[in-house]
Every structure is written in structure tokens, then in C-alpha cells.
Chain A
Amino acid sequence: MIRGFFSTLFSRRKADQEIDAELQFHLAARADELRRQGLSESGARRRARLEFGGVDLIAEECRDSRPARWLHDLLQDLDYAWRMMKRSPVVSAAAVLSLGLGIGANTAIFSLIDAILLRELPVDRPGELVVLNWQARERGSLFKSYSGSIRPPGMQGNAFSYAAFESLRKQEQFTHLAAYLGVNRFSVAARGQTNAVSGQLVSGSYHTLLGVQPALGRLLQPADDQPDAPLAVVVSHRFWERSLGADPSQIGQGLRVNNVAATLVGVTAPGFFGHEVGAHPDVTLPLAKVRDVDPEFFRGLSDPFTNRTSWAFQMMGRLREPRTPAGEVERSLTPVLLGTLDPAPAKPGLVPRMLVEPAARGISGLRRGIDATFAILLGSTLVVLLIASANVANLLLARAMGRQREIAVRLSMGASRSRLWRQILSEFLLLAALGAAASLLVALLVPGWLITLLPSRDGDAASIVTGLDWRLLLVTSSVALAITLVFGAIPAWRATRLDLSGALKENAGSLGVGASTARGRIGKIMIAGQVALCLLLLAGAGMFVRTLVNLKTVELGFARERVVLFSLNPAQVGYGDERRAAFYERIVKELDAVPGVQSVSGSRVRPLTGGGYWDEVSSPQFNLGGRRSLGVGIHLGLPHFATTLGVPMLSGRDLDERDRANGPLTMVVNETFATTAFGGRNPVGETVLLGDRDGQPHQIVGLVRDARYERIRERTPTVYLAAAQRKAMPEEMTFAVRTHAVSSALIPLLRAAVARVEPNIPLIEVRTLDEQIDDSLRSERMYALLCGIFALLALVLSAVGIFGVMAYQAGRRRQEIGVRLALGAGRDRVIAMVLRESILMVLAGILAGLPLAYFLPKLMDQLLFGLKANDPSMFIAATLILLVTAIAAAWIPAWRAARLDPMTALRAE
């Protein structure tokens, strides 16, 4: 049957000829017979034909009695569409290209969404995995220390106490339950090199839970997860290739993790990246060894493995019965969690319940807050697609109207409207299918690049895999089909809604004015729609570009040039609280001695990463309208920080070596602080209390200009404190080295200087301050770049659309224009006439788009910077751009119309 189906399909043309030949034979044989009965040659043939009936009709019925009729029609339609395409290759190529870009932009964004949100983890039976969370109705204290995420509604978190893990893993609902800490940075020394790499501490059941296979050696086992077991390390395939030279003999060798001796026991399978999309821990270590490897993780707590008020362990499990409703599992697990709380929650609203969420697609920090990004990107690409589709609809409309007589003839001969619909739809379908094929190229090349634009720590997002999969193909073909049905329907509907007698009465080539204007109206409405959408994109892109420019040119308040930044985390390699102050001091000294270095300082927070903390400052002298205290951003640093960063001193002095641990407490404040708290009076010499309850007196020794050091977008009252005067030196410090000139030769010198103090500490994220600032503008740059590209695409497509419609209109009006010219109208008047039409059309679109665009800044408020509310400049600019486009796109048709030779135009019929 299948074979018959295809063979009939492919031998169609031959079959048609056969039917014809068969029927012709019948006629000839009958005519022979009639001749024998005495009829004349021509009489016999006529008689035979009369007896026979409609040859074509019978042939059609013969074809109908065979299968695959609809497919045959479709192929015939596509064949016809292909021939129509070939007749005007440039226009068709433009249509395919615009659809390709329109669909491709969508596919690319979808591919990104697919990779981040939709793809399942490359592990064994991911559908059975769940991640455990808890939720309490109210916010309040359930624990003394917490390391994990907490978010509304109420209080919802992902970290548990170790006791909770131990009780939960005994539950029969799980075949496996593993605990782990958040992905962190570790310093790993192997083959003579120390690098900062991302890593993770997991319980011994983690690899078994995920069902991942080793590429080499073995993976972690419960026996490794014991406090007294030797430290075993499993590395990612990526790390083994990049840092271990893909050398199989490395298995069983020693390496140092955070300066602790460890043994490499295995390499995970290629492609395995753990359970977090966008993170890619290179080293995996047993959880029980956290005391040795990362002693600072549970600072200030008694044993985190026994202390029930320290919540830091995240959990993932594999359900024994994956089809059990989550609610049921949650209800049976909640009492287990409650049994581990100590002390019991103070209020009923604080009693937590378990949340069991599917984890087939893993977890991802990238997913937080990315909805808005995706909404903006998908919205823009959808607009581009609509504009491209409208162009193609207009093109087919023009073609269909050119065939109006043919269509009218076919309709009056009894062809069904649905047959004609199908024909026009298949023309669109062919273009859309070719466009979709072209779009796959875009989808293959672009998403990898898009991911590099995403804001993510250390560019970890780059580990996300994109590429073709069935979902992508499904989406692409659905999009192609959807635009065919929606936009193909416009020309199909218009072309088959004919006044038959009117269309037939007209002379070939010159259609009734009614039909022409009606077609023109639809075309123009589509153009106006395109322009309205284009206006949205242009205005949006303009706002993003302006935001980026504003952020780049904003007065930072410090000198961004010639500063190298890098971070050190001595706590990780064994420097306890008491040794770190001396360590930092020695590092500064060594760095200072490097030739080319001007000055050196450090801060707890890396610039422009939005870190830092807040505290309260109070004083009886504050003039705050009733309130006695002021929330301020705290900046904790090493001596000479403001001077090294080049923040201008307005009064007093910078923090320096005099501000020691045992000396009088001091601080430097910024201008906003002085203005807010002291009404602009110079505060140097004043004493204020720092801390919300038992405030400690600090003397203000300096006043500096405002610096947008933590976030570019904000200017906040800020207080600079000497790290040496805090209870403990920060575990990690970001050093800022101001040099005479940054050169690639300098970095090795800085590394060597650090190595002289401690050879086993890696320099984390070495980059210039300039690069750091640029990096902090990643998402702004992404918006500006992508929306700019989309807006440009939309503009070009709209221009093509305007050109097409105007060219069509001018062609339709050849005779009219010929008459005008013959009657003495000037060529410039003809040009003006065509241009006016184009401008009016675009103006209508702009008027339709402006009210929509008005809401843009409100929708995107969070993403914009330095734009005044209702700032009309973007709309004016977009309007001007569109008007210029309208004139430019209509210019060639106008010019051609004006150059018409009236005689040729009039004689054309």
C-alpha cells in the first residue's frame, strides 16, 4: 500500500499521460467503428466525441479514483509556486531571505530558551529527579545561619540542616537522596599550576543518584564521604582535557585542592555538567571533607554536621514512584522535616512544609530574572517576523492580483474557491519552508554567540549547549506553518473574493479601479501595521542604546584607566582570621615593589558587582527630619583605597596605615552622605555611631566625592571603613593596582609578587578596571545590541515592503500617470504624488504606533537608565527615521513613474 502510494505519487505525470492516451484510444477506436458504418472522417470523430462525453472530466475522475490525490494537488501547487518564484528570482529570494531572518531570529531566541529552560539534564532518567525546598507562610527566624536562597512568597528556601538530610534520605519515597553545597570557587593545583576553578561539595550518593558514568577511573562513593577518608576528587571531562592534558595516567595522581592534598579518582562522562544549568563545576569533592577543604564555609558555627540551626545543605532525590502526586510526597515528608527542627518554630506561621519540585531540567541561577529578558527578545523577534510575513503577504497579494483574470476564469469555470486558496497558501508555504530552512542556519550559528552575551559569573553560561534538536525543528516548522495560515490567508482571501463579471469584462492587464484600490487598501494597511511595529522596535532599541551610552558616560567619580584588578582568597588556602591581616599587608608590600606600580589597595567587594552591605549610622547632630539614623553602604577596604581608585578627596585624609586595629575607630564618608546627614556641612572631625543597636563611635577623617563604585546606576550615602578595624579581615580581597601603564608584561610580575608570599594561591579574575566596568554592562549591552539589530532588520524589511507596495501602485497607475503626463503634468508633480502616498501610509502607521510606544518606558523602567519619563526624543527620532525611510523606499518607484513615456504607457493595452 505504501509503495503503491509513493509510486503513484512519483509516476503522477506519467499516469496523467497514460489516462489521456487510454481515453484517446477509446475515441479513435470508436471513430474507426463509426467510419466503418459509413460516416465521414470528421463526422465519425465528432460523433465519437459526443458519445463519449467530457474527456477532461472523465480523466479527472480517473485521477480521483486513485489515492494521494491531495498530496498530488499539493505537489502540483508547489510546483506551480516554484515556477512563479523562478519567474521573479530576485523578489523571491528577498522574500525567502526576509522570512529566513524573521523565523531565524525567533529560532535563535527559542534555542536559547530551550537550552536554559527546557532541556533535560544529560543524566539517567531525569524525569524521576526532584529538588527539595521548604516554605513557611511568614518570614522569621528558623535557623541561626543559612547558606542558600530565600525568596517569597512567605519564606521559601532551598537549604536544610544536615539532620534534615539524614532523616529525609531514610524515607522510602526516595531511591536516592543526595545533599550538596552551592557551586563555589576552589583553587586547584595540578601539574605545577594553581588555578581558580568552580567546584562543588556533594554527598557520597550524588553520582549514583544522577546515574552518571565515569569516563575514566571511578566516581564518588559513600565511603569517600567520611570525615577521616582520604580526600578524593572527581573532575569534569572538560577540566581533564584542558588542565590535565587529557592524560589517562593522571588518575590516581595527587593534586592540591585549596592547598589540601587530594587524589584524583575519576573523570565524569563528557557532556555531564552536574545538576545546574549554566554552572559547570570542574571539581567535585565529598561533602564530609568540607572541614578540611573549605573551613571558612561554616564560619563561627559549631559543627555544621550536628548543629541543627545551621542550614546550608541543598538536596536532590530520585523518587521511587515518579507518578506519585507531588502534594502527596510533600505531605508525607513534612513531618520528617518538622522532626528535625530544634528549637521548634516560635509561631505557627513559621512552621515549614516540604516542597518537592521536578528537577528533570536541573536547577539554574540563570533562570532567575531571565523571563523579562526572554520576553523582550522574543517580543522583538516576533515583531520582526510579523513585518517579514506582511511583506511576503503583500508580494503574493500583488502576484495574485496580477493573475486576477486567470483566477476569475477558473472560478467561473467551476474551480472551487478552496482549490484556489490552497494554491495561494502553498505559494506562501513554499516561501516559508525555504525561509525556515534558511533560518536553521541562523539557529545553528547564532545562539552560541547569544550565550556569550548573557550576564553570568565567570562566563559560566558558555558551558550551556545549544544546537538543533527536535523541539527546535518543531518550533521552526510550526512558525512557518502558522505564518502561512495567517498571512497566506490575506492574499488568498482577497484574490478569491472577486466580482467575476467585473474582472472578466476588464481588459487584460488593466483592472477595474475598484479591485485595484481594494487591493491597495489591504497592502497599505499592512504597511501601516509594519511601520507601527517598526516604530516600537526603533523606540525600544533607541532607549536601550541611550541607556548604555548614559551608563558608559556617567561620571563614575573615580579614574578607570590603568588599574588592574584581581582577587585573592587566602581563607581558602588555610589562612585563618588571625593570619589574614598580615597576609594582606605583605601582598600589598610585594605589589608595591613591582616596577611600574603606582599604588595598591584592596576592597572586600569587587568593583561594580553590586556587592557590599548596608548598615546604620546615627548621630544626635543628624538633620534627617525626625529620624536619627541613616542607612549607608559600607565599603570595607585596605589603606589608601580612595586615592588608589582616584576618588578625589574633598577634605581631610584617606584611610591609611594609621587606622589600625587597636587605634581609634575612623571612617571616610562621601558627598551624598554629607549632604543627607549634615545638610552639606563639612563633616570631617565629627563623630558618628556605626551599627544599628550598640553603635560604636567613629570619627570622620575624610570627605570624598561620590563614586559609583559598587553599582553604576546608584549614588548612595557611602562610608569607607578600614578593614583592619573590623572584627575579622575579609576572607577574600580584591586588589586594585594602579600602574603607570597596563601591559601584558605586568601581569606575570604581579603573579610572581603574590607567589613570593604564597605560592599556592590562585589569582582570581585578573582584569582591568575598564574591563570590569564593561563586564558590568553586559546585559545593557546585550539589550542595546540585539534590539538594535532587530530594529535595523525591521526597518530594512519595512523599507522593502514600502518599496514593493509603491512599485506595485505605480505600475497599476501607469495609464493614469501616462494621461497626466500627456496632459502636461510635470515630472516632479508625479514624483511628489507617489512620495505623498508613501508618506501618508507611513504617517498612518506612526500614528498607530505612538500610543503603543508610549507604554514602552513604563514596561522597561527597570532596564533603563538616565532617560526622563516621557522623553519624546526617542519617538521623534524614530518618526524621522521612518519618514526618511518612506521617502527613500518610494523614491525609485516615483522616479520610474515620472520617467514614463506617456505614449508607451497609453499604448500598453
Chain B
Amino acid sequence: MADKKSDLLQGTLDMLILKTVALGPIHGYGISLRIQQISEEVLQVQQGSLYPALHRLEHRGWLTSQWGESDNGRMAKFYQLTPLGETQLKAESENWTRLSNAVSLIMALEGGSK
């Protein structure tokens, strides 16, 4: 029952979702909106990736879900971070920070290879 391999992009999406959900219970539509807003429209999450990712994360035990009423009065599925998910988020953000710092350091070099 091995889960599908996570490539970098997918791993990043997972992290973004976890981070977004960490701010408080939120439904799938809300997640896509929030990522879009916070990233100032740079990141746009495809529905086709978002929902399977949510289900995958829920199955891994990083998210739990609950049905509740949304702002517009409709019933929506709200996701919440589990303790396991918090640990995972922490690990992933540390990893990300290290990685992006490393990339920044390299990219910050003056001059060029030319």
C-alpha cells in the first residue's frame, strides 16, 4: 500500500496545504483561495491536485475533517491539522527553510559563469 512517490512539487503542495490548514479549520475551496491570496496571486492551486492531496494527507493522518456550515450557509468539509500533522509541518518547514536558504545563497553569488 505504498503511497505514490511525492515529487518536489507535490511535496511542496502538501506543505502549503498543511501550513494553510494550520491557521485554523478550513474547507478545500478556502484553501485554494487563501493560497492564492497570500501568495499574491503567484500560486494558483489546481483543483485536480488539491483534492486528491487533501484526501492523501487525511489518509496519512496529518489532517482530520469534519462537516460544518460555511460562511455562505452551505455544508462544507472542514479540514484540521492533527498533532501528527503539526510535527510533519514543522519538519517540512524546517527542511524548506534550509533548502531555500541554500538556494538563495547560491543564487546570491555575484558575477556569473560567463
Contact = CB atoms under 8 A, between A and B. Distances in A.
B52 A53 contact: no
Interface in B1-59: 1, 4, 27-29, 32, 46-48, 51-56, 59
A23 B51 contact: yes
Interface of B: 1, 4, 27-29, 32, 46-48, 51-56, 59, 70, 72, 74-77
Given A26-B28, A65-B55, A65-B56, A58 B47 contact: yes
A383 B93 CA distance: 67
A5 B48 CA distance: 24
A65 B5 CA distance: 12
Contacts of B70: 25, 29
Interface size, A (range): 20 to 34
A61 B53 CA distance: 9
A62 B52 contact: yes
Interface in A4-22: 4-5, 8, 18-19, 21-22
Nearest to B56: A65
A25 B52 contact: no
B48 A67 contact: no
B46 to A, nearest CB: 8
Nearest to A15: B55
Nearest to A27: B29
Interface of A: 4-5, 8, 18-19, 21-23, 25-26, 28-30, 32, 51-54, 57-58, 61-68
B47 A53 contact: yes
B76 to A, nearest CB: 5
A26 B59 CA distance: 20
A28 B27 CA distance: 13
Contacts of B32: 26
Given A29-B74, A32-B72, A67-B1, A22 B52 contact: no
A21 B75 contact: yes
Given A22-B28, A29-B29, A67-B59, A61 B51 contact: yes
A820 B76 CA distance: 63
Given A22-B27, A26-B29, A68-B1, 6 more contacts: A25-B28, A53-B46, A58-B51, A58-B52, A61-B52, A65-B53
Nearest to A32: B72
Nearest to A53: B48
Contact of B47 (A8, A52, A64): A52
Contacts of B52: 58, 61-62, 64-65
The 6 closest A-B pairs by CB, nearest first: A65-B56, A61-B52, A29-B29, A65-B52, A62-B55, A26-B29
B29 A66 contact: no
A648 B87 CA distance: 105
Nearest to A18: B77
A64 B51 CA distance: 11
Contact of A4 (B47, B48, B54, B59): B59
A67 B29 CA distance: 24
Contacts of A8: 59
18 contacts: A4-B59, A8-B59, A19-B55, A22-B51, A23-B51, A25-B76, A26-B47, A26-B51, A29-B27, A29-B72, A53-B46, A54-B48, A58-B48, A58-B51, A62-B51, A65-B52, A65-B56, A67-B1
A25 B29 contact: yes
Contact of A28 (B47, B51, B56, B74): B74
A68 B1 CA distance: 8
A57 B48 CA distance: 8
Contact of A25 (B53, B59, B74): B74
Contacts of A65: 4, 52-53, 55-56, 59
Contacts of B59: 4, 8, 65-67
Contacts of A66: 55-56, 59
A65 B27 CA distance: 18
Contacts of A30: 29
Contacts of A28: 72, 74
B72 to A, nearest CB: 6
B41 to A, nearest CB: 15
Nearest to B3: A65
Contacts of A61: 48, 51-52
Contacts of B27: 22, 25-26, 29
A418 B60 CA distance: 29
Nearest to B27: A25
Contacts of B75: 21, 25
Nearest to A60: B52
Contacts of A58: 47-48, 51-52
Contacts of A63: 55
A68 B3 CA distance: 12
A30 B27 CA distance: 13
Nearest to B76: A25
A30 B48 CA distance: 15
Contacts of A18: 77
A63 B58 CA distance: 12
A525 B28 CA distance: 57
B51 A21 contact: no
A46 to B, nearest CB: 16
B6 to A, nearest CB: 12
A21 B54 CA distance: 14
A67 B48 CA distance: 19
B80 to A, nearest CB: 15
B56 A29 contact: no
B76 A29 contact: yes
A322 to B, nearest CB: 40
Nearest to A23: B51
A473 to B, nearest CB: 27
B74 A22 contact: no
A52 B72 CA distance: 19
Contacts of A54: 48
Nearest to A4: B59
Nearest to A68: B1
Contacts of A62: 51-52, 54-55
Nearest to A51: B47
A30 B52 CA distance: 19
B64 to A, nearest CB: 12
A4 B64 CA distance: 13
A430 B22 CA distance: 47
B98 to A, nearest CB: 28
- The interface centre, meaning the residue of A22, A32, A51, A57 with most chain B CB atoms within 10 A of its CB, is A22
Nearest to A59: B51
A64 B28 CA distance: 18
Contacts of B53: 65
Nearest to B30: A29
Contacts of B47: 26, 51-53, 58
A26 B70 CA distance: 11
Contacts of A53: 46-48
Contacts of B48: 53-54, 57-58, 61
A51 to B, nearest CB: 8
